[in-house]
Amino acid sequence: MMSSGLLQNKGVVVTRPREQAGDLVEALKAVAARPILFPAVQIEAPENWQSLDDALHQLDTFDWVIFTSRNAVAFALSRLQSRNLIWPQGPRVAAVGRETAKALREFGLQVDLVPKKFSSEGLLNSAELAEMQDRHVALFVGDQGRELLEKVLRERGAQVDKVLCYRRTLPGANPTPLLHAWARGELDAVTLTSPEIFNNFYQMIGGLGQRWLKNTPLIAISPLTAEAITAVGLPDPWVAEQASTEGIMAALEVWAKSREQVADV
């Protein structure tokens, strides 16, 4: 539970895609923080539906269908419904994390595997995916994603079909209002939920924003995102212990507590 008052009136930048920012925005409002929405990635339909359509028509041939994000769920299952197709009984369903699993259940699917650690590594460490010889796997992904799942599952003997469900693009947002808020001292922390979102954000804010970023607390959803942040020479961010909205909020609380302790010295 969030400590009372720690984040009150703190300006927290939310860089998630607009369609997925709702949970974090509401969580911030619930503790009287000021969410500042600045999406650093735009989610769009694939340029070609062929890969997804082919997979949806042969779902019953897969032993496992793995969803790597909420976006993959939204685009794949919306497409399934629009084509008047029905999810078959055969394949087992895995989600890379809690929020992806939640999205699947909202579409009425049973989720057979969610790793304890919400990541590709966590999924690969699951006992259910240890023996994959001759298993047929559909990997529902976006473009520009990590290759780890595909690579390791193939090494374990699986036949892996990589199914492109959506693509990510750089938003054309004007950073000037954000920079003005920064200059007025209204921006206290920035949340970053993927390496790509960080890289886009870093590009979008330009030289001035990049200089200010060195003195702005950054909250990373995972060690992988933290690596992207430190790779450009920025200080270590605060890292969520769980890759979820709850994890981000907990990391924000830890940051706010440390700030309060420094002020008390």
Tokens of 203: 């590009």
* Cα dihedral sign, 21-189-249-192: positive
SS (H, E, C) 166-204: EEEECCCCCCHHHHHHHHCCCCCEEEECCHHHHHHHHHH
Classify residue 117 by burial, with Cβ atoms within 10 Å: 0-12, 13-18, 19+: middle
Backbone phi and psi for residue 242, each to the nearest 5 degrees, phi listed first: -125, 135
Say how far residue 10 (Cα) sits from the centre of its chain.
Answer: 23
**Can you give the pLDDT at residue 1?**
43
Identify whether the C-beta of residue 12 lies closer than 8 Å to the C-beta of residue 35: yes
Q: How far apart, in whole angstroms, are the C-alpha atoms of residue 248 and residue 241?
A: 8
Identify whether the C-beta of residue 13 lies closer than 8 Å to the C-beta of residue 190: yes
**Can you give the pLDDT at residue 138?**
98
CA nearest neighbour of 193 among 54, 81, 43, 4: 43
Q: How far apart, in whole angstroms, are the C-alpha atoms of residue 101 and residue 246?
A: 15
Q: Is 11-41+172-264 CATH 3.40.50.880?
A: no
**Can you give the pLDDT at residue 104?**
97
Q: How far apart, in whole angstroms, are the C-alpha atoms of residue 238 and residue 229?
A: 11
pTM, two decimals, is 0.82
Number of H helices, E strands in the chain: 11, 10
Tokens of 143: 């473009």
**Can you give the pLDDT at residue 260?**
74
**Can you give the pLDDT at residue 174?**
94
Same fold, 11-41+172-264 and 44-169: yes
- Residue whose token pair is 């949340």: 191
pLDDT in tens, 211-238: 999 999 999 999 999 999 999 999 999 9
| H-helix segments, 31-175 | 50-57, 70-82, 98-106, 120-124, 148-155
Backbone phi and psi for residue 192, each to the nearest 5 degrees, phi listed first: -135, 125
Say how far residue 221 (Cα) sits from the centre of its chain.
Answer: 8
Q: Is 44-169 CATH 3.30.70.20?
A: no
> Which residue ranges in the chain fall short of pLDDT 50?
1-2, 264-265
| Domain locations along the chain | 11-41+172-264, 44-169
**Can you give the pLDDT at residue 262?**
56
